[in-house]
Each structure stands twice: as structure tokens, then as C-alpha cells.
Amino acid sequence: MRDRFSRFAWRNGWIGLLAGAAMIATCAPARADDPLGVYIGGGVGEAHVRNDNVSGFVENHTGWKALLGVRPIPFLGAEFEYADFGHPGATGVVVAPGLAYNVDASQKAESVFGLLYFPLPVPLLDLYAKVGMSRLQSESNASCVTPLTCGANPTVHTDSSQTRVGYGVGAQVKILAFAVRAEYERVDSSGGSPDMYSLSALWNF
């Protein structure tokens, strides 16, 4: 039920953003872009933390991110982003018949993205895709809660760092020096691929 509500809320959020952009574009004046197109921003959203080493562990959590970007020409840009996908936990995760653990996991990523903006007839609305490289840090702790089957390792700690491909798509509405962005992003990883739906606010210098 919670996942169904979240998907409904995010879908309607995207529809609302695009509808708002269309209305704003009809009445707001355009502004001259900064030649370098430098901007900063931050956002928050719903993330999914995954650890495939623990029987496909995946949990929802609040995530956040901070970013610094440039857009020197209308159709191309670049961003540096730090994203924290959260630190959720789950109890009684069954990893084998008769063997269960309490698990908590966290995932964070430092990423460099290239952005491609799609040409649109609405000047204050952008649709874009991004792809780049992400340094993903994953950490998990598991403690066995079935004493008869725990064996010699009742607790397990894992900590890894990988360089992986990150990508995403999004839409943003620009109003003078401000922009509001809705985005989906994901980092591919063999140990568990985190992703996040987010809303961000940007300031253009």
C-alpha cells in the first residue's frame, strides 16, 4: 500500500510540475542566461537502499542531495553531486530457511554527470537526461536473530566502495534566478543499485 501511494504521489507531482510550467511560461518574462550558467542546489526525496548480499534487501528511506552545476550552452551541462540515499533498517530478514537477520544499510554517492537538455518551445521548462560516473559507498550491518542457525558469524559487517555508472532523467521549471526540479536517478551496482525520486531547488548565479 505504501509503495502504491508513493508511486501515485510522485506521478501526480510530475504532472503538476509540467502543468505549472506551462502556465508560468505564458505570463513570466524570460531572463538572460548567465554566460557560464553556474548554479547550486539541493533536494530531498524518496530513495530505495539495496543490498543484494542480504537476500535482496531493499528498503525505502528519505534521501537528500547537494549539487553544483554549469550550463555554458543551452543544450549541454555538467554537474557534481553528492547524494545520501539514507540508512534504513529491517527486522527478521530471512536469508535462508530458518536463518534470519536484523539488517541496516546505508548508501551514498559522489557523482559527475553530463546533462543533455532537450529543445522545447516552452522557454521556462527543461526536460533533460544525465549520465556519468558515481563513486558509490555502501555499508551494512546484520545481526542474527535465530540462535540455533547462526553458526560462527552471528554478526556481519560489510563496507565497500565502487565506481559505477549513474544516470537519470528530470524536468525543471525556471523562474528568473530560481529553478525547481523533479528527477529520478539511479546508480548501477552489482551489490545493490540505489535510486531516488527527488524534488530540488536551484539558484542560478
When the candidates are 3.40.190.10, 3.60.15.30, 2.40.160.20, 3.90.1150.10, the CATH number that belongs to 2-204 is 2.40.160.20
- Distances in Å between the alpha carbon of 163 and those of 29, 82, 150, 190? 42, 14, 33, 11
pLDDT band for 26, please (50, 70, 90 cuts).
Answer: very low
Q: Is the per-residue pLDDT at 5 higher than 80?
A: no
Q: What's the angle, vertex CA 205, arms to CA 125 and CA 170, rounded to 5? A: 30
In DSSP terms, which residues pair with 54 in a beta bridge? none
Could you tell me the residue ranges of all domains in the chain? 2-204
pLDDT digits (tens, 9 = 90+) for 51-70: 887 777 899 999 999 999 99
The pLDDT, as a whole number, for residue 29 is 41
pLDDT band for 34, please (50, 70, 90 cuts).
Answer: low
Q: Please tell me the distance from the alpha carbon of residue 131 to that of residue 168, in angstroms, as a whole number.
A: 7
pLDDT digits (tens, 9 = 90+) for 79-110: 999 999 999 999 988 888 888 989 999 999 99
Rounded to two decimals, what is the model's pTM? 0.79
Single-letter code of the amino acid located at 12: N
Q: Phi, psi at residue 7, to the nearest 5°?
A: -65, -40
